[in-house]
């Protein structure tokens, strides 16, 4: 399987004659370099592509000094020696510690599941971690004590708060990471 083939590299118009072993070794090296650079949080994808293209061009420069006018194909051993000269490609520094996103946390809403009048009391209960029957009792008593004036803020909350279908959906959204 050492039949000659050609390798085309960035920055070089001529193709370099090489064996299949040499071509496979170069492909593995460039793929590992690209994968390592893309995995680095400090390197953007475009930067990783540029670095690999520069590396490919430098390898082409080295190959142009190796292949003479006789155009002997580069062997797998010669390619391994060249790649050893370049060394492994690794990210610039240690990877940053993984940052776990903070959960969204509690938020005010109305909950439609099990609502009596709009789901505001159920939303207040879910926000505070209270039993909904206690919240409904307190709201009813305060509405009676204030002569019905508590009904106005209740209606404002009914119109202003976002609706969530169920308590489970509320808990899922509360524990989900903050939107970016």
CA dihedral of residues 64, 70, 76, 79 (deg, nearest 10) = -10
Give the pLDDT score at 70: 55
Give the pLDDT score at 141: 94
- Please write the tens of the pLDDT for every residue from 59-80: 888 888 775 555 678 888 888 8
Q: Which residue has the higher pLDDT, 131 or 177?
A: 131
Give the pLDDT score at 103: 79
Instruction: Give me the chain's average pLDDT, please.
Output: 82
* Residue owning tokens 């292949």: 67
Domain locations along the chain: 4-86, 110-175
Q: Judge whether residue 93 has pLDDT over 80.
A: no
Please state the pTM of the whole predicted model.
0.48
Q: In what helix (H) or strand (E) does residue 21 lie, and over which residues does it extend?
A: helix 20-38
What residues have CB less than 8 Å from 93, skipping those under 6 apart?
42
Q: Alpha carbon of 35 to those of 43, 49, 55, 140: distances in Å?
A: 11, 10, 14, 62
- Please write the tens of the pLDDT for every residue from 34-52: 887 776 555 666 777 888 8
Mean pLDDT, rounded, for 78-103: 73
């Amino acid at each position: 399987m050492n039949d000659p083939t050609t390798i085309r590299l960035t920055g070089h118009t001529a193709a370099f004659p090489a064996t299949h072993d040499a071509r496979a070794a170069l492909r593995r090296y460039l793929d590992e370099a690209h994968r390592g650079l893309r995995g680095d949080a400090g390197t953007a994808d475009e930067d990783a592509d540029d670095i690999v293209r520069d590396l490919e061009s430098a390898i082409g420069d080295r190959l142009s000094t190796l292949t003479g006018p006789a155009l002997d194909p580069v062997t797998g051993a010669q390619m391994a020696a060249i790649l050893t000269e370049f060394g492994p490609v690794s990210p610039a520094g240690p990877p940053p510690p993984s940052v776990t996103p903070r959960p969204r946390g509690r938020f005010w809403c109305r909950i439609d599941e099990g609502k009596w009048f709009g789901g505001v009391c159920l939303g207040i209960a879910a926000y505070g971690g209270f039993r909904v029957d206690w919240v409904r009792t307190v709201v009813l008593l305060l509405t009676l004590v204030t002569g019905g004036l508590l009904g106005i803020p209740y209606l404002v909350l009914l119109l202003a708060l976002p609706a969530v279908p169920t308590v489970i959906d509320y808990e899922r959204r509360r524990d989900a990471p903050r939107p970016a």
